[in-house]
């Protein structure tokens, strides 16, 4: 157990990390979260017990606050952790435990160093437990294990792959001692962490076999007993003196912005939002798709801004959607659609610097883009702007006027409406000539001179 120097709690103000465009949305969701889940709220099972119902009254100095940390360490999680640590120090709780399942950190060097310093110099005990089974602590998240008083890794969880050291060596010792260099490129499980002395076990424990020691670091209720001053039923028969765990989670607004800052969600929101905006452009609808697309694009931009996204890759994704739009207006997937698919794949592959999206997410994005450009949008445009129920067979046999020279292609006016036309039997027509419609191929009319051309089959006999 490391000895602590009691230092007064520092109040670190929450710095704005969102773009100005999200201010109104933040205010709306902030008001909603205040009504539903106030900051610091806990699940019902961990709230203070009421008097007179036979349950135990929660005493602050007998409390261990368990803060759930999942996903990447970003600005939202940073502000939340600092705020909760300040609150725990003011309340004089026994300690704080970070329940970890984090694949890395996207914090700036300044914020990362500040968080490490804050955890190291806290006036209360700070522990990190990587669990339950299947959880991980990788990248910068793993490096923070070196500043905690207590470290536990559940069986089935992994730590490591820290990459280059982030914390200054003059202020922080190696996070994992002699194993620090090894864990820069590899990850280890609970057994190796225990053998390397990374995880902590109860010094008074009588365990002689590794299975017993693993239980002490794998089971949360067993690991909590290692906090100095922790009182369990084995320590006292007075239930009012028992140490009570209290779980703390991000409020709704924090969960929202933390979720959209994950690599997969930010990517899908961004490209999906742009696709919906183009859909709205070509459907000339009532604005539902456009509104949803705008919200998705805004949140996607927020997420990409919080992540190490490459600007060039973002530009490739935007250009890919623009290329799709060029061919969509012609109602025929051609060269620009193929170019757009190449740009989209490149933008997807190189989007993040230091983080890889799952193959499932990239597959969904690429396959969805292909279906959107080659099938979905062309079919939608044909359905939206064609008029199959009205029919155009009535035009066969009608006469009109050549608006331009038709030799062999040009434009004619039928009942005052312009139509693309091809001359029947390649008979050239001059602008102003009277023409007769003898056939229709999709949206193009087959025409011939009013006199001297072949008669329509309906007029034969």
> Residue 40's pLDDT is what?
38
Share of the chain above pLDDT 90, in %: 47
Q: Would you call 380 exposed, middle or buried from its count of C-beta atoms within 10 A (0-12, 13-18, 19+)?
A: middle
CB 183 within 8 A of CB 196: no
Q: Is residue 117 part of a domain?
A: yes
Q: What is the pLDDT of residues 263-276, one digit of tens each?
A: 999 999 999 999 99
Instruction: Say how far apart CA 250 and CA 99 lie, in whole Å.
Output: 13
Q: What phi and psi, each to the nearest 5 degrees, are found at residue 185?
A: -120, -10
Domain hosting 100: range is: 56-256
Task: Specify the DSSP class assigned to residue 239.
Answer: G
Q: In 221-372, at which residue ranges do the beta strands (DSSP E only) sit?
A: 244-248
Indicate the range of 49-53, 244-248, 409-413 predicted with least confidence.
Answer: 49-53
Instruction: Say how far apart CA 320 and CA 350 lie, in whole Å.
Output: 14
Q: Is residue 272 part of a domain?
A: yes
Structure-model confidence comparison of residues 288 and 33, the more confident one: 288
CATH number of the domain that 65 lies in?
Answer: 3.90.226.10
The reply to whether 113 and 231 lie within a common domain is yes
Q: Is residue 15 part of a domain?
A: no
The reply to whether 101 and 229 lie within a common domain is yes
Domain endpoint, select from 224, 241, 256: 256
Q: Is residue 223 part of a domain?
A: yes
Angle of CA points 333, 336, 337, to nearest 5°: 45
The gap between the terminal CA atoms of the chain, to the nearest Å, is 108
CATH number of the domain that 424 lies in?
Answer: 2.40.50.140
Instruction: Say how far apart CA 14 and CA 87 lie, in whole Å.
Output: 14
What's the average model confidence in pLDDT over 90-117? 94
Q: Would you call 435 exposed, middle or buried from its count of C-beta atoms within 10 A (0-12, 13-18, 19+)?
A: buried
Structure-model confidence comparison of residues 132 and 49, the more confident one: 132
Q: Are strands 136-138 and 150-153 parallel, antiparallel or unpaired?
A: unpaired
Q: Is residue 443 part of a domain?
A: yes
Domain endpoint, select from 256, 283, 308: 256
Adjacency order of strands within the sheet including 136-138: 136-138, 158-160, 187-188
> Residue 440's pLDDT is what?
85
The reply to whether 126 and 247 lie within a common domain is yes
């Amino acid at each position: 157990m490391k000895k602590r120097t009691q230092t007064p709690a520092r109040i670190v103000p929450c710095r704005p990390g969102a773009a100005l465009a999200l201010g109104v949305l933040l205010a709306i969701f902030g008001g909603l979260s205040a009504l539903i889940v106030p900051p610091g709220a806990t699940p019902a099972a961990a709230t203070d017990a009421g008097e007179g119902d036979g349950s135990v009254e929660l005493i602050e100095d007998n409390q261990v606050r368990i803060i759930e940390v999942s996903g990447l360490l970003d600005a939202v999680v940073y502000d939340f952790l600092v705020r909760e640590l300040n609150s725990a120090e003011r309340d004089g709780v026994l300690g704080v435990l970070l329940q970890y399942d984090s694949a890395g950190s996207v914090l700036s060097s300044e914020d990362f160093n500040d968080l490490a310093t804050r955890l190291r110099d806290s006036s209360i005990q700070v522990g990190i437990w990587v669990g339950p089974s299947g959880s991980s602590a990788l990248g910068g998240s793993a490096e923070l294990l070196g500043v905690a008083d207590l470290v536990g890794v559940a069986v089935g969880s992994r730590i490591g792959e820290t990459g280059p050291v982030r914390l200054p060596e003059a202020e922080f010792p190696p996070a994992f001692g002699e194993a620090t260099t090894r864990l820069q490129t590899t990850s280890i499980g609970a057994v190796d962490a225990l053998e390397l002395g990374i995880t902590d076990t109860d010094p008074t424990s009588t365990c002689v076999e590794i299975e017993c020691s693993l239980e002490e670091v794998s089971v949360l209720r067993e690991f909590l007993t290692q906090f100095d001053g922790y009182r369990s039923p084995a320590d006292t028969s007075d239930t009012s003196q028992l140490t009570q765990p209290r779980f703390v989670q991000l409020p709704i607004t924090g969960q929202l912005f933390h979720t959209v800052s994950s690599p997969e969600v930010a990517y899908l929101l961004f490209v999906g939002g742009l696709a919906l905006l183009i859909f709205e452009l070509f459907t000339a609808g009532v604005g539902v798709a456009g509104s949803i697309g705008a919200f998705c694009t805004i949140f996607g931009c927020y997420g990409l801004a919080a992540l190490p996204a490459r600007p060039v890759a973002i530009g490739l994704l935007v250009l890919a959607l623009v290329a799709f739009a060029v061919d969509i207006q012609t109602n025929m997937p051609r060269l620009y659609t193929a170019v757009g698919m190449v740009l989209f794949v490149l933008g997807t592959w190189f989007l993040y610097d230091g983080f890889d999206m799952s193959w499932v997410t990239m597959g969904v994005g690429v396959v969805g883009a292909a279906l959107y450009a080659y099938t979905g949008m062309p079919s939608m445009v044909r359905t939206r702007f064609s008029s199959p129920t009205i029919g155009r067979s009535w035009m066969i046999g009608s006469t009109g006027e050549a608006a331009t020279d038709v030799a062999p292609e040009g434009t004619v006016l039928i009942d005052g409406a312009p139509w693309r036309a091809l001359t029947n039997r390649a008979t050239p027509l001059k602008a102003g000539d009277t023409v007769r419609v003898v056939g229709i191929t999709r949206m193009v009319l087959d025409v011939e001179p009013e006199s001297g051309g072949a008669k329509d089959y309906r007029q034969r006999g």
